[in-house]
């Protein structure tokens, strides 16, 4: 069964290795026309605020990042215009197995799932 195609996916992670792996998995799956990588939550929020074109359809978001973590990102994301974010799904992508992180992620309406990183084809097939 072919996976859904997206115009734009945003990866937010401070790990270059995880970004590389996640990008490769997404590119190999052929589900997206554009993949943007931001290496920090603050940079990602600034990037989203500056967009004049299409907003990402999907965001894969790490939790543990310096300066601003994934939960801080989600709190700011909620203040972006609803007209922009309405068709954007967020997936937490973390190595954390802390039940408190999972519970906190699920408290945000925009978070569709909590996945272990790095991404793999089985995860993509399950969520798309």
SS3 116: strand
The architecture (CATH level 2) of 6-127 comes to 3-Layer(aba) Sandwich (3.40)
Show me where the domains of the chain are located: 6-127
SS3 state at 94:
strand
Tens-digit pLDDT profile for residues 3-31: 678 999 999 999 999 999 999 999 999 99
Cβ–Cβ < 8 Å for 22, 117 = yes
- 76's enclosing H/E stretch is helix 70-77
Residue 1 has pLDDT above 70, yes or no: no
Vertex 60 angle, CA 108 and 103, to 5°: 35
User: pLDDT digit string (tens) for 97-117?
Assistant: 899 999 999 999 999 999 999
Query: Is residue 113 classed as helix, strand or coil in its secondary structure?
Result: strand
CB 88 within 8 A of CB 59: yes
Average pLDDT over residues 67-96: 94
Q: Given this model, what pLDDT does residue 2 score? A: 55
């Amino acid at each position: 069964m072919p996976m859904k195609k997206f115009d734009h996916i945003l990866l937010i992670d401070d790990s270059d290795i995880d970004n590389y792996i996640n990008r490769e998995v997404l590119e190999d799956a052929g589900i997206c026309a554009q993949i943007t990588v931001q290496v920090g939550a603050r940079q990602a929020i600034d990037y989203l605020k500056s967009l004049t074109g299409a907003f990402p359809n999907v965001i894969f978001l790490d939790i543990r990042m310096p300066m601003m973590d994934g939960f801080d990102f989600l709190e700011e994301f909620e203040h972006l215009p609803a007209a922009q974010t309405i068709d954007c799904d967020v997936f937490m992508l973390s190595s954390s197995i802390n039940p408190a992180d999972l519970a906190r992620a699920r408290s945000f309406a925009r978070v569709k799932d909590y996945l272990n990183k790095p991404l793999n084809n089985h995860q993509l097939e399950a969520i798309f």
